[in-house]
Structure formats: structure tokens, C-alpha cells
Structure 1
Amino acid sequence: MFLLPEEKKGITMEKLSSAQIRKMYLDFFKSKGHTVMPSASLVPHDDPTLLWINSGVATMKKFFDGSVVPKNPRITSSQKSIRTNDIENVGHTARHHTLFEMLGNFSVGDYFKEEAITWAWELLTSPQWFAMDPTRLYVTVYPKDTEAKRIWHEVAQVPQDHIYEVDDNFWDIGEGPSGPDSEIFYDRGQEFNNLPEDDPESYPGGENERYLEIWNIVFSEFNHKPDGTYAPLPHKNIDTGMGLERVVSVFQNARTNFETDLFLPLINETAKISGQAKYGDSAATDVSFKVTADHIRAVTFAIGDGALPSNEGRGYVIRRLIRRAVMHGQKLGIEQAFLYRLVPLVGKIMESYYPEVLQQADYIAKVVKMEEDRFNETLKDGLQLLNEMIADAKQEQLQEISGKVAFKLYDTYGFPVELTKEYALEQGLTVAENEFDAEMQKQKERARKARGNAKSMGVQSGLLTDITTPSEYVGYQTLTTQSVLKEIICDEHLVNEVQAGTALLIFDKTPFYAEMGGQVADRGVIKSAQGEVVARVIDVQHAPKGQNMHTVEVLQPLKVDQTYTLAVEREFHDKVRKNHTATHLLDQALRDVLGSHTHQAGSLVEPTYLRFDFTNLGSVTAADLAKVEQIVNAQIWQNLKVETIETTLEEAKKLGAIALFTEKYGERVRVVKIGNYSTEFCGGNHVDQTGDLGLFKIVSESGVGAGVRRIEAVTSKEAYEYLEGHSQLLQETAAGLKVAQLKEVPHRVGLLQQEIKQLEQKVSTLEAKVASQQAAAIFAQNEKIGKWTLIKAQVKVAGMDQLRQLADQWKAKAASDVLVLATAVSKDKVNLIVGVSPQALKAGLKAGALIKAIAPKVGGGGGGRPDLAQAGGKNPEGITAALAAAVTWMQQLD
């Protein structure tokens, strides 16, 4: 039983758990004919505009813009979502979260305002469902939406004084579907309010804590066009969103979302780990408890969906959340790694709807702990840099720390900017926030450009959506068939005939596979009754209602209702299906070798190769790759039977079928079973037995993103050609090495490497002798500048290693107070080194300050310790000026 706050006076509703509320919502809309769609992965699929799935409607885009028509136009879901645009508010407000769940019901061209409004009111007030007191509910409407206002009042029987007109009740995100909306508020009572009852903002929709928005219903009825105009949608939609965390706080009578069964167990466990702080002790520690509970939820779910910590994109978000939570843990007195210990508890809290989190808890906890340990190491380096910057600012009598430095601490070391501010404030300094904000804006702009300019949601088109002509795929049985041409689309218009050019065609049946699940589309030709090629099929995609839609190059006139012969290119098709079967074998082999946490993150099945992306913490070792390859080939050589089974979704799950990536499955599914080795959901084409593949060879393994690896491989003829090519290279290498047998090549190469190493050692010894000889002459060139002595020179050495050797000799001899050496490594590369003696260091001279003063003369920059600093540059001609600048810098010391 989770710890909940005491029930307060005035609340008579049953205190439901979060799991009960979620289930009740979904059950209600299921009773209204809605299909319950499972929560999609937080990692978007085929949507470059989103870093994360950030709302329920984000998973419905293809339905709402008409590019895909759902089997059931009524859908409901509880969608996990992540938003991090206002992360700094988390913990400081009652309802800001990075991870949240959005309950929603959606109508895609089916019911509209009256059903959406009356069902919302029924769910909220009916004794069989949420049983909320109707007198506590208020709604807002868009002033011009008189129809919604009428329905609320006349049909739902909401009193006029509980309906408010609000000007900004219009949902619009740019091009695409848009429309007015209605928000529903719950009156929590004046005891929850942060304002006096007569305050102008104390009303439903105002900036107050009394009236809590629990639901928003969007009546999507317009197309926002590129020219800024609004036109009626061909099909009107309903899109709603109810924040689970908010409505749970109402049922559990919690002042904030954090005092509910979704967060309190995590807060209590964190307090237990701390052993020092307790929730409720102070406002400051409460913020830290809330941040920790919020962030570990988001991190756990994100990693569970395949994202991993890194320095970019989603990985950067995860890294930032973990580091922010660690810093708040330290404020609670927790010095050791602790977040990973909360992962199983997150899984337990969410188990009723997200059992996969608890199933992956060990793996997720391992990732979190690795990141915590890593941050604890960088934390020391970051603090050292911060302390140096504070010392430099104070020495130069500055009142603030550079915002660029604060951003570097934030970006490189994971320091939240508020932490940098706190450290600076303790030393009587501030942070140049304008500079920090400017650097942050630059980073956001880089991230925006990286995501590209893809539209958030397309403008809905009724043309393809309205095509209901059935089309049957027969490619599992045959690659050639006679078919009737049912639809021709040219220049976004339906036509009865096409003479030439490019067109989209839909037939009553087709053997051409439409691209899906990573498998490329078939290609081939269309023939007339006389056997003439009248068109070439260059691509096949699914139309919104699921038909296979052929993109063709028209060679001779085509007419609707005429019969044609459709012929798939067999060699192309056979190569593709071999690589598709190999993809299934590779998927299972990776699980066998790397562990069950590994799962597919994308694939491409071409005729000449296959590409498979999968999640993994690091690169795959050569030994593990060899194991994977051996396992796949073992299945090929066993010549296992490949069979396809059409069954129900539940029966397929009982068979142990693995769902690939983020495909959506209907009630009837197709399962591909390869012997007793692999069983997966798949609608693609496969060989009859694994022996058809002949051979499997991994060509490469590499990283393609945060925690995502990529394997490219070949089969059959391409595998043979790959191995034959490498064999030829080995033979040429053997000839060049003058060895009689190929097996002697590694030994001969090893001998050459030893010879090279010995020669390098000799060169290094000679360079050291040359450096020592130069040192004797250099150290005699001691010049007096004020009260300090300086040795400066341009030397001829190989690079920075030799400069350091000279600096070590200078230090041992105590040859001067300051040393400045430069060398031209090449025509466009310079190395500089600066040393400061212990006595000069105590007097305030710093090598880092001097190197910053002279490095620009050679077109570079650098830094280092106060006693030794180094720099690189691109302008050897500036060495003389750099040495002169060192003299000037020292002259100004007095």
C-alpha cells in the first residue's frame, strides 16, 4: 500500500489508485467502441520532427493527416510522453514533469463534438465511472464555437455559470489540422488556492491553484494551409488529452502531483537512502526529492525504450536528467550512486500497464549506475575548472563568471547552471546569464537544424483517404498475375487514362510487395494482353487504406478497368527474401550472444545486402561478432524449414513471437517461424528453408547513434564475392611480403611491426639527444625582465612531447622564472609551451594566463595547469611575434 496524504474535508470521491484510474478511462472508451492502442515507444519512429513522443496525438499524426487510415476510427490510449523544454521548472511547481502519461480518446473522421462532450461528462460524473461532483466541474470554450457551448449546456446539462469563453481556446500548431477546444477544470476548493478568492485570476483558466485543468478536448475541423488560411477538413477529428498525474492528484486529494502513488514511493525510498533528509523538512530539500523522483521515472522509461546516455540528441537528455538528479541527491546528503536503486521501484509502480519496465530493470539499472559513476568522475574535473574560473575572476577583480564558461560546465561536465550560480554566489560573484543564454540558444539552433525542416503534421488530403477500392496482395503465392487496373492517380487527381510519365496505380490484386518492415518494395513490369511492356514498376507503397499503390513509369497508355499482367522481377525478389530471412536469424543470434536487452532499432533489406540496427551499450567485440556469424551460419547449414503462420495476435504471443521495432499489429497477424530457432511477427517475404541463403557474412559493425549499433551483412552470391575479394587481397599481401604460404602472413607482419617499433625507439632516443643539446644552449639565454628571468626560444624538435622534455629539464635545473618555447611542427602547425617556477607561481604568475596572451599570435589557443600550459596553432610565421608578446606580458607585471 503506497503512502498517501490524509484525506481532506470536502472530498467524497473514492480514492482510486493511478492504475485503477488509467484502466477505468480505457475501459470506458472501449465500451464506446474504441480500440485501445498500446502506448508507443518514447523514441519516435519515422518522425524527424520529434526528439521524443511528447503527447498522445503525436502517435496519431498519420491518422489525422490522412496518410494512413486506421482500421477503427475510434481509438483510445494512455501514452507515455517526455517533454524537457521546461526542465528547470520541475520540482519547483506542482505539476511540471519530464515524463508523464496522457490519457486520450481520438476520433478519425467518425464522431465529433456532441459525442466527445457527452462522453467526457459521462465518464467524469457517472457513479459507475469517475463519479466526480458535477458542481466542482467547469468548462471553457472558444468564443466563436457556439456549437460546443450549446452542447455543454443543453445536452450535457452544464450550468451557464460553469461555462467560460476563453479567447485562446484554439488548438493550432501551424500547417495541418487545427480547431477550437474545450478545457475541463476541477474546483479543488479555496483551501488549495494560492490566491485570495476575489483575485482576478481566481477563476477556471486563470493563474491559480484552485481550479485544476484535467482534460482538453480538441475539435479538429480545419486545415491550416501553407498560405495561412483555414479550410474545412475533409474529415473532422477529435483529439483529447487528460494528464494522468493531474487527475490522480484529484482522486488522491494531493496538493501536488508528487504526493500521489506515482511519485511518493520514490520520494520515500530516496529519503531512506539519504538517511538525513525527509520529505517536508524544507522547501529546498522538497525540490530535490521531487526532481529525483521525476527524473528517474523519465530515465527509466527512456532507457527501457532503447535510448542511452550520450552527448547528443536523446542521449544528451538522458545524461542531463541523470546528472541533474545526482546533484540534487548530493543536496540530500547522498554521495554515492543511488539512482539505479530506484529503477526496480519505478517498474513496480508502473507494472500494471508497463510490465516491460520491471522485466528490464536489471539492464536499465546497470546503464544508470554506469552513468552515475561516470558523472562522479567528471564532477571532480568540473569543480576544478569552476574553482579556477572563480579564482581568475577574483584576481582580475571581476564581478561575474563568463557565461561561456558556465555553459561549458553545463554542456561538457553536466553542471546545471543553477549549481554554477550557487558556487559563484558563495564567492560573491554572479554568472553572466546573457552569455549563457546565447550559448544555449546556439545549441538549440544546432539541434533544430539537425532534425531538419520536416513538417510537424501534414495537411490532410482527401484524395487518397477516400479511395476505398480493395486490393489483394498475392505475392506470397505467385510473382506473376493478371489484374484489373482499378485506380489511376496523376498530379493528385483521379483519372481514367494515362498516356505517359509517372503515375500511381491500384489493382484489384498484385504480386508486388509494398515497402514495409525494412524490406524494400518489389520492382518489375506491367504487360498488356498482347504481352507488351506498358509500364515499369519503380516503387510500391501502402495507400492510406492499406492498398498496395504502385509508382510506375508509363511506357504505353493505361486505362482503368483493363486487365494487365503484373510480373515481379524474380532475381531481385529472391535476393531480398534471402536477406530478410538472414535478418531474422541475425536478430536472434544477437540476443543469444549479447543478451535479451538487445532489440532492433531499425533495418533495411536490400537485394545486395542487409542492414540491422540494434541497441547495445558499446561496440560489439570481434569475438562476439564471430560468435554471431557462426550461429547464423549454423542455422543455414542445418537447412531449417521456414514457415509462415497466420493466427490471432494472442496466439502469436503464446508462440513466443517477437515483435520487430515499432510495427502495429491487428487482430490477425503473420508469424515467420524458422525451425525452433526464431519466431517473429513479420509480413515480409522469406525463403522456404535456410539452406537457400548459402552463406552469411558480416561486413561491418559500427555506431550510428546513442547506444545504437549497426551491422551490415551479405548472403549467398554477395557473401561469396566478399570472401573471394578478401582472399585475393591476402594473396597479394603474401606476394608483397615474399612469403610462400598465406598462413605465414600474420607472422611476417608481426616481425615488420617489431622492426618499426625498434626504429621508432631509435628515433626517439636521437630526438632526446638533440633536445638535450639544444637545452644546453637555450638555458644559457636567460634574460632579465623587471624582477623576473625569462628563457624564450624557437627550437627544432618533433612536437609537444619533446617540448615537454625540455620543460622537465628546465624545471630540474631551475634555469629561470619563466620558460616559453615554440616549435614549427610543419608549415601549418605550431606547438607552444609555457612554464612558471614555484617562486613565480607563488607571486601570482600563471602559465595559463601567459599562454592565452601569446597563442593568438600563432593562430591558436590553449591552456593547462598554473605551472605548465601548452597551446597549438596554425601559423608558424607568428612564432617571433608570440615570443615578443611573452616579453611584453612580463614587462607589464610590474
Structure 2
Amino acid sequence: MKNLTSSDIRQMYLDFWATKGSKVEPSASLIPVNDPTLLWINSGVATLKKYFDGTLIPENPRITNAQKSIRTNDIENVGVTARHHTLFEMLGNFSIGDYFKEEAIPWAWEFLTDEKWLAFDPELLYVTYYPEDTDTKRIWQEKVGLPENHIVPIADNFWDIGAGPCGPDTEIFYDRGPAFQDLPDGDPEMYPGGENERYLEIWNLVFSEFNHKPDGTYEPLPHKNVDTGMGLERVTSVVQNTPTNFETDLFMPIIKKIETLSDGKKYGENKMLDISFKVIADHVRAVSFAIGDRALPSNEGRGYILRRLIRRSVMHGQKLGIEKLFLNELVPVVADIMESYYPEVKADQDFIIKVITNEEQRFQETIHEGMDILNSVFEEMNEKGETVVNGTNAFKLYDTYGFPLELTSEYAEEKGFKVDTEGFNQEMQEQRNRARAARQVEDSFSVQSPVWAEVLVPSTFSGYAQTKISSELSVMVANDDIVEKAAADDRVQIIFRETPFYAEMGGQVADKGTIETETGEVVAEIEDVKRAPNGQTMHIARVLKEIHSNETYVLHVDESRRRNITKNHTATHLLHQALKDVLGNHANQAGSLVNPNQLRFDFTHFGQVTAEELVRMEEIVNEKIWEALPVVTVETTIDKAKEMGAMALFGEKYGKEVRVVDVGGYSVELCGGVHVQNSQDIGVFKILSESGIGAGVRRIEAVTGQAAYQYFRTKEAELNEAAHLVKAQQTKEVAGKINQLKQEMKEMQGENESLKAKIMNAEAKDLFENVETVNGVTYITYETKNQDMNALRQLADQWRQKAVSDLFVAASATDGKVNMLAAVSKDKLEQGLKAGDLIKTLAPFAGGKGGGRPDMAQAGGNNPAGIPDALKHVAVWIADNTK
């Protein structure tokens, strides 16, 4: 076996498949693009789904890639097992209707065993196959030459996740030898494919032969596909002969760095501490890559997963004696390890460090909150005489605050308690079941439709320069069949040889318009426009009068609608650059929507955007509009576009030829959309709103042209109405009039408060004489109306000064809401009577909850009718607590 680094293995794999005619696809972003069914890219094939389900036909049917992927369904196993990871790299080779079993199997064997490539010992390789797939067994025996005892039938070797492509698979295992045998000979699991540590699965070849239809039946695919995956971490552990994946060069530099940050802890000396080393090394890789791909910590979705990974790492860092912020020091190590294939991690290193550091700092507060909760659990258990922390509490600490079960167990043991691990595991299993149910949906494909895959007629888009042309109707499809004609009320998908209609893409909505005869008669309405599997523009139309294939029609885009779209699209480009000018280069586009009515622009940024910053951005965009900058488009190579300084949208894939939109040298972006010819065509730009839509992601909504004019007219009308209401002669007087009214209102409020205080003092004279007694404890209860909590606190202060009773309870109803306050004298506090306990008992009568200090507590509620019962219950509570 050769002495290879992980980088060598990755590159060798891609080079091998390139020799077989495969196109090497770069690793896509971990954040799925235009695929709402996936939270993360979780496999090599996930980025190629549209090829496999037939909605898109690749330029080259042979593809290979090294795809970074994230899976977090079994996060609790990371660090415990030899091979569980959150982030991993899947080496894949794919055939979309091209080569199949006869080629794929021998080629896989060639890469693994040939001296030019990995040069594994053939005697140490075993394979499994689906028993009914006799072709695969025959190929392994006849073309590869594997003996019978190296070929194992496995009934589960059929890849099927519901509707869509499916088929048998064959897995390749490496025998790591007796040193890794964790089960005795004769054990039913001691075989390739069994649950053991000796035979390690390194490669899975899936042969998509069938369509799993929604009704549960299977039918042969019109085009058979190959989908394979080989985990880089696993293969590297075999090549480098390490006990687990964590001792490879993908992880050990990170672990060594962690050693220098811990208080003298060393990897390999303590199995429990080794788990913490592994968890941190694994999680910091996943977090670094995910943040680099612009996923940011938050309380939901992928942001929640990031937050959880960071928090788990911090907690495991504490187990290693690391009390300071430390994950930021590991990011450069990750960047160095991965730089040869993923230079973007090093390029984004500062950004990644900033995000992680912010999240670590936030978690320091949460750790203390989690510890407070754990201590309160211990205190409550002591009071109840319990000795076992229930599984629900342990899981809450794990899931919400990042406390690993073993950490909770350690703290519990220090206090003389145990943890209900069975209950914890039950909660964990329920969460895992939910995740798996979600994963079944996430991984699903569409069922292949053979019709559009066969449509190869060319279609040219001429809509950059024209909105009305004559063109021949080439192909028409209705109900998944190619038809020659369509009647009124039919809905059809149509391809023309040439079209001015823009298909929805890159945030820009599709054009709408009409299909007409040469004489101007409208025969169909274009309702939507999309890309066909082979890249043509597909028009989705409602037929008004019979139309026929191979006839020429006039295609007419709704020009007014298109003009508004182009104004908004070019404005997004100007806004993107203005964002960077005002906020900094980290403000990258995170999504957009361009329609005729407005534009929406999502971007990455920490913290809120100030009003002054919004004003400056708006000024910049309008300045560029008024400068009448020419909008020039250039078709060039991706490399030359980068030399021009063109901004690319994060996560988007670009071909060799790209389109660059240059707005007067101020904004230069890669974009396939339609734009104005000069920035002054936009007219005017107005920001409507700015808001946060997730941690680190903000959204700006804006309008241009006619929509901006209508916005100003609406605001003018509102201002005129305000002037009328405050009796201002001119709109410029409105602010002064409002300030005058505010001053008058303030004076009136002061007078009102003064009158309230006088009334309260008058009532208090009688109030403090109504003292009652239960079991030697004196108390006063008082019900009033329209008094806020501040007024009740002032009453309590008077009560305390007069020292007329041991307890005081007051309640007031205002607009259907209840304010309630309880106070206890110092003497009775020493005897164990607490205001917080009293208010918690009284609050439910008024439909609320309460709490506070032992000497004073307060509550709110929404049931004023319950106040009398609450006050009556004071005597009951005193009696119960003074027996």
C-alpha cells in the first residue's frame, strides 16, 4: 500500500475518473441552492439530483466530485465511534444514462488495486451484492476475478428511499485484520457487511435501474444511472493504517492544537477525554466549512445545528480544562489542512473566526444559565428527597444548553445523585426518529419523466435585446405526451426555436405575455417560463385558440412588466455594491427576489443596520442612477470575469462561459438576468424596510421607478392627513405641532399622576386600619382599580414605613388586566413566610403567574373577576403555613 496523504487520495480519485471521461465537478456549497427539501448537502449525489430525476440533462453524462457534506442525525455518536462525523467528504463518480455495471465495477476495482492508483491488496477486499442482482455477482466473478468466498449476498443491498430512482447496490469492504476484530469467530455479525470493526465498508456502488412510483410499483428507468460514494475519511484511515478516522492527517493536527490549549491533557491517555478531543476536532471542521458557506448560528434550521455544534465543542473544551475562548484558534489549523482543495476556508478565515468568537462569547452566558438550571434541579431534588435526575431534564440540558450527558452525570455524581440514562436515551431516540422522518423527505427525488429528456431541439434566447419576435413552435407537450396541436383551455409546455421570454432564474421572476398570430390575434397566454431538462426555454401556456407545432407565431413579452423587472434587477446590483461600501465586504448577497413590483435583497451582516447607514445606501444608489451610468454586458470566461473583479453569487455554479453585467464600473457582477441599458432608466430608488430574517442575515425591500413614485404619493397623502389632524397650516409645521401636543400630554400626565397619588393617600388612611389576624399573623388585603404596579409598590412602601401588619397584599384591575403585589415583614421572613411563595399561590386565581423576592413579589393576570377570591385566599395560605 502506498504512503499517501488525504490530499493525495482525493486528487488521485478525481484524476482516475477524469481518465474515464468524467467531468470533475467542484465541491458545491453545503447550503443547497434551489432545493428547499434539503437542510444541508448531505451526500455527493445531493447536488446532482436534477440530473438523476431527469429535470436537467448534464453536458457530460459522466461526472465525478469530492463533495463536502454534513449529517447531524447521529451527532451523539461523534467521538464515541471510529467513523461518525458531522462533516465528511464523499468521493463520488456518477453516470447519467451512460456507463453501467459492466464498466463501473471493474473501474472501481482498478482504482483500488492497480499499482498506479491505491494499490490495495486484492486479498483484503470483499464485496456484497443484492441477491437478485445476478449481473453484479457475475461481473465481480468473471470480469474482476473475485473468488466466491469474497462475494457476500446481503438482502438489504437495495437503495430505495421512496418515490424516484432506485436500484441494487454493491459495497466494497476492506479487511483490516485480526487486530481490529471485536467479535469472536463464529459470531453471526463477523462477516463483510456485518456489525463489526474488522471489515470496513469503503465504497458503495448504487445502480439506479428502476423508478419507484408513488403507487408503490417499480418500472425500469428509461436511462440507467450509476451513483457511487467512497468516504475520504475512511479510505484515508485504511491507507494511513490508523485505529480510527481521527488519527489521520485530516484530524490529528487539530487534536494536537487542542492539546496545547488544554491544561496538560494528552490525546490517547484517557478514553473519556479522547471523546472530547474528537468531538471538538470534528465539530470545528463542520462549523468552519458551514460558516464559510454563509450558514450562521441561530435558533432554527441549519443555524440551530451550528449553534449546537459550537456549544457542544465549548462544553467538551471545559472537560479538557479549557475555560477561555478557544475555537477561533482551531480555525487556521482546519484551513491549513484543507487548503489544497478548499482554499476558500483560508480566504474566509477572518470571517469564520469572527462568527465563532461571537457565538462562543454568547454561550459563556448560557453555560452559567444551564448550570443555574442544573443546580435548581439538584435543589428541588433535595427538597423532595429524590436521588435520580429524570431523563427529560437531562435531555433539556443536552439539547438546549449543550450539556453532554456525561457532563450532567459528573455534576450529579458530585452531589450524590444519578441520572436516568434510560429516560435520556428515550428522549434522544424520539428526536432521532423525528430527524429520520425528515431525512426521508429530504433525500427524496422526483420520479423521472422520459418525455423532456428526449427533447433535444435547440432554443435560442434573444430577450436581452428584443421583447417581440416571430418564431417557430418546435415542441409542444401536454399531460407528459408530445402533441401536434392543442385546443382552447389546454395547458401546455412549449419550446420555440427562438424566444424573447426570460425563464425564472437567479432571483428574477419569469416573463409573462402572449402568443399571437402574424395578424395579431392572441392564441395563448404565457403564464410561466422555466428551463427544460436540456436547457431550453420552456413556456407554460394556457391556450385560447387552437395552436399547432411547426407553425410560426409571434411571441410578445409584456413590455411594461419587463421594464419594471429590469429596473429592479439593476437596482439590486447597485444596492449590493452600496451595501459593501457602507457596511463592509462581509455584506454578501444571501438571496434575492426581483419582480415587477419591488425588489428584495438578503445579505449577511452582524447586528442591525442603522438608520444613518440605510440613508447612505439609498443615497449612493440614487447617485449612481443620476450619474446615468451605462450598463454593459460582456460574455466571457469565468477566469476573465474574475480578473475583471466580477462578484459571483455565493453557492451558485457557473459554466466556463459567463455573462458579466457592468454598471459604469461601479458594480460588476456575474448575472444572466435582464437589465436596463443605462442606470438613469431606473428613475429613482427607495428603501421600504430593513429587517433581520435570521442570525446574521438581514433583508432590504425596496422599490424603483413608478412604484417609488406611488410610494412617495402615499407618504405625501399621509403627511397631509397628519397636518389636518394636528391643525397645521402646512406640512412643514407638523413636527412642531406634534412636539407641542407631546408637551401638553406630558403636563396632563403629570397632573393625572398627582391626582392618583392624592386619591391613593386618601384611601391609604382607611386601608391601613383594616388589619386582620390568622394564627397570630396580621395581614392587610386591598383591591383597587386602574393602578399600575408602580402605584402598588408605593403603597407597599407606605405599609412598610407604618409597620401596621406582618403581610400586605394589593391588587388592581386595569383594562382587563390584573396587577398584584405581596409583601412580608422582616420578622415573618425569619419565620419562613415568603412573599414569592404567597404570590405564586394567589396569581392563578387572577389567571396569571408571579414571583419575586422573599420580601416583595408581584404577579400579572388576565382575570380581574378572580381578585376577590385571591385576596380571600391570603387567610387560607397563612393558616396553611403557620400550623
Q: Which residue matches 1:550?
A: 539
2:136 maps to a residue whose letter is: A
2:487 maps to a residue whose letter is: Q
Q: Which residue matches 2:638?
A: 649
The 1:864/1:149 distance shift into structure 2, 3 A limit, reads farther
The 1:873/1:498 distance shift into structure 2, 3 A limit, reads same
Q: By how many angstroms is 1:648 displaced?
A: 1.8
**DSSP-derived class of the 1:131 partner:** coil
The answer as to 2:555 corresponding to 1:566 is yes
Does the 8 Å CA contact 2:315/2:402 hold for their aligned counterparts? no
**DSSP-derived class of the 1:601 partner:** strand
The answer as to 2:268 corresponding to 1:267 is no
Separation (CA, whole Å) in 2 of partners of 1:868 and 1:419:
36
In structure 2, runs of 5+ residues without a counterpart are none
Match of 1:339 among 327, 331, 339: 327
The 1:191/1:728 distance shift into structure 2, 3 A limit, reads same
The 1:32/1:884 distance shift into structure 2, 3 A limit, reads farther
2:415 maps to a residue whose letter is: Q
The answer as to 2:704 corresponding to 1:715 is yes
Q: Which residue matches 1:213?
A: 201
Match of 2:342 among 327, 344, 354: 354
**DSSP-derived class of the 2:350 partner:** helix
The 5-angstrom pairing of residues 322-401 of structure 1 reads 322-401=310-389
Separation (CA, whole Å) in 2 of partners of 1:437 and 1:791:
51
**DSSP-derived class of the 2:411 partner:** helix
Q: By how many angstroms is 1:790 displaced?
A: 4.7
The answer as to 2:525 corresponding to 1:536 is yes
Match of 2:607 among 610, 613, 618: 618
Q: Which residue matches 1:295?
A: 283
The 1:841/1:647 distance shift into structure 2, 3 A limit, reads same
The 1:793/1:608 distance shift into structure 2, 3 A limit, reads same
Q: Which residue matches 2:13?
A: 25
Separation (CA, whole Å) in 1 of partners of 2:457 and 2:820:
75
Match of 1:251 among 239, 242, 248: 239
Q: Which residue matches 2:228?
A: 240
Separation (CA, whole Å) in 1 of partners of 2:478 and 2:55:
17
Q: CA RMSD in A?
A: 2.9
Aligned length: 881
The 1:714/1:251 distance shift into structure 2, 3 A limit, reads same
Match of 2:847 among 852, 859, 862: 859
Q: Which residue matches 2:859?
A: 871
**What are the superposed Cα offsets for residues 272-329 of structure 1, whole Å, 9 maximum, x if unpaired?**
1223322123122111111111111111222221221111111111111111111111
Does the 8 Å CA contact 2:449/2:480 hold for their aligned counterparts? no
1:47 maps to a residue whose letter is: D
The 5-angstrom pairing of residues 441-590 of structure 1 reads 456-501=444-489, 502-590=491-579
Q: By how many angstroms is 1:775 displaced?
A: 5.7
**DSSP-derived class of the 2:505 partner:** coil
TM-score scaled by structure 1? 0.92
Does the 8 Å CA contact 2:567/2:682 hold for their aligned counterparts? yes
**DSSP-derived class of the 2:550 partner:** coil
Separation (CA, whole Å) in 1 of partners of 2:433 and 2:837:
32
Separation (CA, whole Å) in 1 of partners of 2:391 and 2:750:
46
Separation (CA, whole Å) in 1 of partners of 2:759 and 2:238:
80
2:221 maps to a residue whose letter is: L
Q: By how many angstroms is 1:768 displaced?
A: 5.3
Q: Which residue matches 1:83?
A: 71
Q: By how many angstroms is 1:733 displaced?
A: 2.8
The 1:214/1:762 distance shift into structure 2, 3 A limit, reads farther
Does the 8 Å CA contact 2:723/2:734 hold for their aligned counterparts? yes
Q: Which residue matches 1:684?
A: 673
Does the 8 Å CA contact 1:307/1:706 hold for their aligned counterparts? no
**What are the superposed Cα offsets for residues 140-183 of structure 1, whole Å, 9 maximum, x if unpaired?**
11111111111112112222211111111111111111111111
**What are the superposed Cα offsets for residues 423-451 of structure 1, whole Å, 9 maximum, x if unpaired?**
33433445567877787789889999999
The 1:450/1:235 distance shift into structure 2, 3 A limit, reads closer
Does the 8 Å CA contact 2:502/2:529 hold for their aligned counterparts? yes
The 1:591/1:193 distance shift into structure 2, 3 A limit, reads farther
Q: Which residue matches 2:273?
A: 285
**DSSP-derived class of the 1:358 partner:** helix
Q: Which residue matches 1:317?
A: 305
Q: By how many angstroms is 1:704 displaced?
A: 2.2
The 1:256/1:821 distance shift into structure 2, 3 A limit, reads farther
Separation (CA, whole Å) in 2 of partners of 1:380 and 1:419:
14
Q: Which residue matches 1:5?
A: none
Does the 8 Å CA contact 1:797/1:803 hold for their aligned counterparts? no
Q: Which residue matches 1:162?
A: 150
Q: By how many angstroms is 1:363 displaced?
A: 1.6
2:466 maps to a residue whose letter is: T
Q: By how many angstroms is 1:751 displaced?
A: 4.3
The answer as to 2:176 corresponding to 1:191 is no
1:16 maps to a residue whose letter is: L
Does the 8 Å CA contact 1:403/1:431 hold for their aligned counterparts? yes
The 1:653/1:91 distance shift into structure 2, 3 A limit, reads same
The 1:446/1:118 distance shift into structure 2, 3 A limit, reads closer
The 1:494/1:422 distance shift into structure 2, 3 A limit, reads same
Q: By how many angstroms is 1:857 displaced?
A: 2.8
In structure 1, runs of 5+ residues without a counterpart are 1-12
1:153 maps to a residue whose letter is: Q
Q: Which residue matches 1:701?
A: 690
2:530 maps to a residue whose letter is: Q
Q: Which residue matches 2:589?
A: 600
The 1:323/1:846 distance shift into structure 2, 3 A limit, reads farther
The 1:671/1:223 distance shift into structure 2, 3 A limit, reads same
Q: Which residue matches 1:100?
A: 88
Q: By how many angstroms is 1:62 displaced?
A: 1.3
Does the 8 Å CA contact 1:611/1:710 hold for their aligned counterparts? yes
Q: By how many angstroms is 1:548 displaced?
A: 0.8
The 1:165/1:727 distance shift into structure 2, 3 A limit, reads same
Q: Which moved more, 1:286-295 or 1:194-203?
A: 194-203
The answer as to 2:653 corresponding to 1:672 is no
Separation (CA, whole Å) in 2 of partners of 1:630 and 1:890:
67
Separation (CA, whole Å) in 2 of partners of 1:430 and 1:719:
65
1:381 maps to a residue whose letter is: E
Separation (CA, whole Å) in 2 of partners of 1:365 and 1:592:
22
Q: Which residue matches 1:145?
A: 133
1:312 maps to a residue whose letter is: E
1:53 maps to a residue whose letter is: I
Separation (CA, whole Å) in 1 of partners of 2:827 and 2:141:
86
Does the 8 Å CA contact 2:509/2:595 hold for their aligned counterparts? yes
Match of 1:730 among 719, 724, 728: 719
Q: Which residue matches 2:118?
A: 130
**DSSP-derived class of the 2:290 partner:** helix
Separation (CA, whole Å) in 2 of partners of 1:777 and 1:412:
52
Match of 1:15 among 3, 27, 35: 3
**DSSP-derived class of the 2:162 partner:** coil
Q: By how many angstroms is 1:399 displaced?
A: 3.7
The 1:473/1:128 distance shift into structure 2, 3 A limit, reads same
Separation (CA, whole Å) in 1 of partners of 2:300 and 2:470:
52
Q: By how many angstroms is 1:869 displaced?
A: 4.3
Q: By how many angstroms is 1:542 displaced?
A: 0.8
**Identical counterparts, % of pairs:** 58
**DSSP-derived class of the 2:785 partner:** coil
Does the 8 Å CA contact 1:48/1:451 hold for their aligned counterparts? no
Q: By how many angstroms is 1:780 displaced?
A: 5.0
2:468 maps to a residue whose letter is: T
1:571 maps to a residue whose letter is: S
Separation (CA, whole Å) in 2 of partners of 1:233 and 1:838:
83
